Amino acid sequence: MPAAAQRAPAAAQEAAAGWAPAGVPLVLSQRAAIDAALARCVPEQDQHCLSDAAFSNLYLFRRPHAYRFHDGAFPYVSGLTYDGSAHALPLFAPAEAPPAVLQALLRAHGRLYPLSGGQLARLDPVRFAWQAVRDDADYLYPADHFRHYRGTLLGKKRNLMRQLLSAHAVTARPYVPALAGAAMAVQVQWLRDKGKLAGEADDEACAEALRFVNALGLQGVLFEADGEPAGFVLAQRIRPGVYVMRFAKGLDRFKGIYQYMFHHFCSEAAPDAAWINFEQDMGLDNFRRTKLSYQPAALLPKYRVTLR
């Protein structure tokens, strides 16, 4: 790249590469194109596929991450990580892009993120550097963990589920938008149980997921205990036999509800599930303890790639 281009402002670099410098907001009508692009550029077609490789994840968390879509010959989504680092998520295979394109993208946004192990393996280590932050990693589990809760470590989960079923009459219904009122009642009480105010957790994203469940390609289950809304899950199939658990909300007074919800989802709602991805823990101690307690088979790293 010429020296003058290297010194140009980020916006000028993007414009020269054919991108809209400011990008545009994410909207539901972009789903088909973005999902198709992600399917083409992410090499993993199995359980190693990252939870981020879906439009639904980008759309639902577009506000906290300041996501913007930049169209062009080499489209991408720009945003901020949870720890505030600017980045670009390429909607093309980075290893197949011209060097000038990647240089412009990295100089404009600092890093490529999140890249999978398969994408990373195709990059030249002489030109690029990378790191994986533990807080970003996805938790991956065999679906049979939740179907059976076998073994000493998972036996406690099985006992909690049995306690719930012995104390309450629990029913499950496939989630449809007509059940949004009941699901939102769970969400409101969940916030109270956690001592949080509206807007302090993922309630805005969760409310949108409940409203646009079909448009985003999600599927869910609403659970009731003794006739009262007790919890719900919303998940997404991202690869054959691989599901991401996008949202799971249960009420504290129904002890064992989470263990039962995960069991029911894998046993009844998604009998084809071989793997369940619980996404990242964001460095939050309570998330980390809970996700580790289900005995993940692997943590999937998400790489941040920069120029050397």
Q: What is the pLDDT of residues 146-187, one digit of tens each?
A: 999 999 999 999 999 999 999 999 999 999 999 999 999 999
CA distances for 215 relative to 62, 204, 222, 231, 278, angstroms = 16, 17, 18, 22, 21
Global pTM value: 0.92
Residue 69 near residue 77, CB atoms below 8 Å:
yes
- The lowest-confidence range among 18-22, 66-70, 210-214, 217-221 is 18-22
Query: How far, in Å, CA of 147 to CA of 20, rounded?
Result: 47
Percent of the chain exceeding pLDDT 90 equals 90
Fold of 144-273: Aminopeptidase (3.40.630)
Confidence of residue 3 (pLDDT cuts 50, 70, 90): very low
Q: What is the pLDDT of residue 257?
A: 98
Q: What is the pLDDT of residue 200?
A: 80
Query: How far, in Å, CA of 274 to CA of 210, rounded?
Result: 25
Average pLDDT over residues 105-127: 96
- The lowest-confidence range among 10-19, 54-63, 197-206 is 10-19
- The lowest-confidence range among 11-15, 26-30, 192-196 is 11-15
Q: What is the pLDDT of residue 13?
A: 54
Average pLDDT over residues 94-105: 94
Q: What is the pLDDT of residue 17?
A: 54
Q: What is the pLDDT of residue 15?
A: 56
Confidence of residue 8 (pLDDT cuts 50, 70, 90): very low
Q: What is the pLDDT of residue 144?
A: 98
Give the angle 263-269-270 at the CA atoms, nearest 5°.
90
Bridge partner list, 245: 235
Residue 59 near residue 105, CB atoms below 8 Å:
no
Average pLDDT over residues 253-258: 98
Residue 1 has pLDDT above 60, yes or no: no
Query: At what angle are helices 151-167 and 257-264 packed, to 10 degrees?
Result: 100
Q: What is the pLDDT of residue 199?
A: 76
CA nearest to 190, candidates 252, 282, 257, 262: 252
Q: What is the pLDDT of residue 10?
A: 57
